[in-house]
Amino acid sequence: MTALLLALVLAAQPSPCDPVQPAPRADPAAAASYRTVGDAERASGARDTATTAYRLAASLDPADPDSRRALRELCETEGAAAVDPFRRGVERMERGDLREAVADFQAVRAARPDAPSALLEGVCLYRLGDDRGAEPAFHAAEGDPEVGDTARFYLGLIALRRGDSQQAAPLFDGLVASSGYGLVAADMALIARRSGIFTVSALATVGWNSNLTLAPNGYANSGAADGNASIAASALWRPLGESGPYARVSGAYQQQFSLTAFDSGSGSAAVGWQLGHADRALVAEYAYTFSTLGGAPYLSSNRLLGSGWLTFGSFTLTGTYLARFESYMSVYEPFSGIFQWAELRGAWWFGPFSRLGLGYQLGADGTNVNYLSWIEQGPHADFFLQLGRSFRLGVDGWLGFRTFGAVAPGPGVVRADTYLAGALLAEYDLGNHWTLQANLGARQAWSNLPQFTNFAFVPSVGISYLAGF
Amino acid sequence: MTAVLALLIGALLGTAPGADEHLLAGANAFREERFDVALVEFRVAQALGAPDAATYAATTLVKLGRPEEAVESFGPGDGPGQDPLTDYYRGLACYEARLYQCADRLMAAVGDRAGPRIAGLASDIRGKAAAALAGAPSTDTIDWYLSRCSAEKKAGRAVLSAAYCREAAGLSRRTKG
């Protein structure tokens, strides 16, 4: 957008340095009139109109020395004019020198109201995270027919950042008919209605697992498959909006149709703080989770998580680390210990509707029993594609190499596994809050111990609800 | 914009000899959004005695983002005139020069006289002017208008100077009222 604006600015300004073509018929009297206007415009500091007038004068009277001299002087000072604040601001903005660019745009606006300068000043401040400073600048630009839509789009983004979905949604709605923002604005309006200071979500699914018990490949596993129904819900409170403290509670329960020993449930509460916004932020979070399996207590865990991301143009680099202190119960107690996991991920946006993510993950489970401990690492990739206003597709793939910590007592060797997992997700929005989901998941495990080589196919369909207040 | 052009072309009928071709050239340039050329042509037409050229130059100055000069070029007084489109551009010049009371008066006079699109734009400006005028004006604000009045008078822009003085007086009445 900034390149376009700069191009418009450059294209709109006649250069006093360009050669003047003589008119087909000389008219010294008319030339004198143009020269007079040129003198007046030049005296008032209007360089462009002065240039236009002098060029017309010189064209109509090639012998006129005054207009040519004036053009020569304007040409000689063009270098100085090239550093006019707006141009310099655009160049600095494109280099990423946002604070300096803001000063340039403010200098333009101090001289006269200028909507493009106001818009770009607002964009710079928005990128710097100074929403309070950006808002008045966008308000100054929103009435302009050329840049008003962009200004209103950014005002919507700012409202979204502070969790004010009531203000954000109408701003995006108003841009749905805009040629430049139609589909993106529709998306943002939807996001606005699904976010806010307080958000609630719920998901109900029906699914099937071809190998719930992880029966080894090649073994008769007709009893390993089972269907299930699940429900999950969560509530998130962010009193200061996107950037600031937050608290979340969530719960989930999955009921197996036959293998009820695998019925699972969990309840979780978390508090955290996000410092920053969608383009760059740091997050710290503590969460407590209690889980059941087969109707009996299964796991109590405390988790610490830190994450941060930085955006450079259409690329976002994200780093995440978590440590989970796990206390398993009953027969699962030997699995207790500390689980750690980290990922470094890069995501590229190809336009507003498709994104490719590539990452590398490292996990370590330090259990009380060393032969159950393991270290795992491997790549992860995901791709997201928005097709039209309501339909989204996602593909996810992961390859993991896991090595256990010690020789297992029975087999007499150190177990080593390789996992390949993939999923295809399709979502279709049913209005502002409801979404249909379909998920096709598959997971293959290979192990040097044959009993751990297995495959599972896990399809599911569901419906979710998400609303922000 | 076509309405502006119609006015411009209509004005050619009553133009001084020699000025008509410049008014026409200005109208063509205005239609092509070459506002720098349009301004030059209108200024030449004005110098040659075209009676309405100053108004068209003022409209072009609004397009060029030079609202203070536009206010000056529109001429003395800030009451509505015969042509609602001119009132709209004059009101826009006032708004951009921070003469919000002037803008409000002119935009109110535009009403539906210039069609629904201009009426909508005028209504938007009135809304923004009302927001700018909300609350009692501070002494600093009034002093700023008075200082602009004085500065423009010294610079020889009598119309703009008077407009700032009227704005200051109006704001002062709002303080008292």
* Per-residue pLDDT tens over the stretch B89-137: 999 999 988 899 999 999 998 877 878 888 888 888 898 888 888 878 8
Q: Could you give the CA distance from residue A313 to residue A281 in angstroms, rounded to a whole number?
A: 15
Report whether A469 contacts A193 (CB < 8 A).
no
B159 shares a domain with B113:
no
List alpha helices for B16-157, DSSP H.
Answer: 20-31, 35-47, 53-63, 67-74, 84-96, 100-110, 116-133, 139-154
Question: CB–CB of A37 and B66 under 8 A?
Answer: no
Q: Which of A144, A161, A192 is the last residue of a domain?
A: A192
Res A14: pLDDT: 60
- CB-based contact, A40 to chain B, within 8 Å: yes
Distance from C-alpha of B63 to C-alpha of B49, rounded to nearest angstrom: 23
Q: Is A30 within 8 Å of chain B by CB?
A: yes
Chain A contacts of B68, Cβ < 8 Å?
112
CB contacts of A47 in chain B (<8 Å) are none
Cβ contact, residue pair B67, A56, below 8 Å: no
- Judge if B88 and B162 occupy the same domain: no
* B6/B83 same-domain check: yes
For B47, the closest of A36, A112, A113 (CB atoms) is A36
Q: Rounded to whole angstroms, how far apart are CA atoms A93 and A363?
A: 40
| Strand duo A414-430 + A391-407: pairing | antiparallel
Q: Which residue of B has its CA nearest to A49?
A: B36
In this prediction, residues B152-171 reach a mean pLDDT of 91
**Does residue B89 share a domain with residue B110?**
yes
What is the rounded distance in angstroms from the CA atom of residue B48 to the CA atom of residue B17? Answer: 8
| CATH number of the structural domain spanning residue A431 | 2.40.160.40
Inter-chain CB proximity A49 and B96 less than 8 Å:
no
Q: For an interface test with A, give the residue of B37, B43, B48 to mutate (most A CBs within 10 A).
A: B43
- Whether residues A34 and B44 touch (CB distance < 8 A) is answered with yes
Per the listing, tokens 């800030």 go with B78
* Closest chain B C-alpha to A113 CA, distance in angstroms: 6
Domain identity same for A18 and A123: no
* Statement to judge: residues B40 and B56 lie in one domain: yes
Residues on chain A touching B69 (C-beta within 8 angstroms): 44
Cβ-contact A158, A189 below 8 angstroms: no
Question: Angle, to 10 degrees, between the axis of helix B158-176 and the axis of helix B100-110?
Answer: 90
Q: Tell whether the model's pLDDT for residue B14 goes beyond 60.
A: no
- To the nearest whole Å, the CA of B42 is away from the closest chain A CA by 10
Contact B141, B172 (CB under 8 A): no
Q: Which residues contact A3 (CB under 8 A, 6 or more apart)?
A: A94
Please indicate, yes or no, whether residues B126 and B147 belong to a single structural domain of this protein: no
Q: Do A53 and B43 touch (CB under 8 A)?
A: yes
Mean pLDDT (10-residue bins), chain A, 469 residues: 42 64 83 90 85 88 85 75 76 87 88 87 91 90 85 91 85 79 80 88 97 81 85 95 93 96 96 90 96 96 96 92 96 95 95 92 94 96 91 96 90 92 96 94 94 94 94
Chain A CB contacts of B96 below 8 Å: 112-113
Number of domains in chain A: 3
* Closest chain B residue to the Cα of A44, Cα to Cα: B69
Q: What is the pLDDT of residue B56?
A: 93
pTM of the model: 0.59
Which residues, in sequence order, are CB contacts of A332 under 8 Å at separation 6+? A293, A298, A299
Mean residue pLDDT across chain B: 84
Q: Is A49 on the interface with B (CB under 8 A)?
A: yes
Nearest to B36 among A14, A33, A112 (CB): A14
**B44, A33: Cβ pair inside 8 Å?**
yes
Name the token pair of A219: 């073994």
Closest residue on chain B to A47 (Cα): B36
Q: Tell me the chain B residues in contact with residue A52 when contact means C-beta distances shorter than 8 Å.
A: 36-37, 39-40
Domain boundary among A172, A192, A212: A192
DSSP label at residue B11 = H
CA-nearest residue to B98 within chain A is A113
Q: Can you say how many angstroms the Cα of residue A460 is from the centroid of all Cα atoms in its chain?
A: 27
Q: Where does a domain end: B118, B133, B148?
A: B133
CATH number at residue A171: 1.25.40.10
**Interface residue of B22, B39, B40 to substitute, partner A, most A CBs within 10 Å:** B40
Q: Do A112 and B65 touch (CB under 8 A)?
A: yes
Here the tokens at position A44 are 């008032």
Select the more confidently predicted residue: B10 or A400: A400
What CATH number does residue B14 fall under?
1.25.40.10
Residues A206 and A99 occupy one common structural domain: no
Residue A444: per-residue pLDDT: 96
Single-letter amino acid, residue A132: R
Kindly state whether residues A304 and A438 are assigned to the same domain: yes
A236 and A172 co-located in one domain: no
Domain span at A21: 2-82
Residues in B lying within 8 Å of A, measured between beta carbons: 22, 36-37, 39-40, 43-44, 47-48, 64-69, 96, 124-125, 128
Q: Do A49 and B44 touch (CB under 8 A)?
A: no
Q: Which of A192, A215, A230 is the last residue of a domain?
A: A192
C-alpha distances in angstroms, B105 versus A419, B112, B123, B129? Answer: 74, 14, 11, 10
Residue closest to A165 by CA, chosen among A194, A186, A192: A192
Phi, psi of A4, deg, nearest 5: -65, -45
pLDDT at A3: 40
Place of tokens 């009531």: A166
B165: Cβ–Cβ under 8 A, 6 or more apart, which residues? Answer: B145, B146, B149
| pLDDT on residue B70 | 93
Check whether residue B45 and residue B60 sit in a common domain: yes
E strands, A313-353, are 315-328, 337-349
B16 in the same domain as B87: yes
Same domain for B125 and B143? no
The domain in which residue B61 lies consists of 2-133
